[in-house]
Amino acid sequence: MGAGFALYVSERDAGKVLELGRKPNYDFHAVLAGYIEKGEKRVMINPIGIEFAAETLAVR
């Protein structure tokens, strides 16, 4: 078992990160998994109808 990690980068840098993930000497898989917008702090996983409120995730 291992630990999962997430990188949050600006939309401007997302393409660079995805490109790095495709290089043969790097051992990570990169995906564009979402976006950030102004509003209530929460995480929404729309395809499966799940929403996590900020207080349950210790979001600052």
List pLDDT tens digits, range 12-51.
999 998 888 888 887 777 888 888 888 888 888 888 888 8
What pLDDT is attached to residue 9? 86
Between residues 21 and 3, the one the model is more confident about = 21
Whether residue 58 is predicted with pLDDT greater than 80 in this model: the reply is: no
Strands (E), 1-60: 42-45, 50-53
CA distances 29 to 2, 7, 8, 40, 57, Å, are 14, 11, 14, 29, 24
What pLDDT is attached to residue 60? 61
The CA R_g of the chain, rounded to the nearest whole Å, is 14
Compute the average pLDDT of residues 2-12: 78
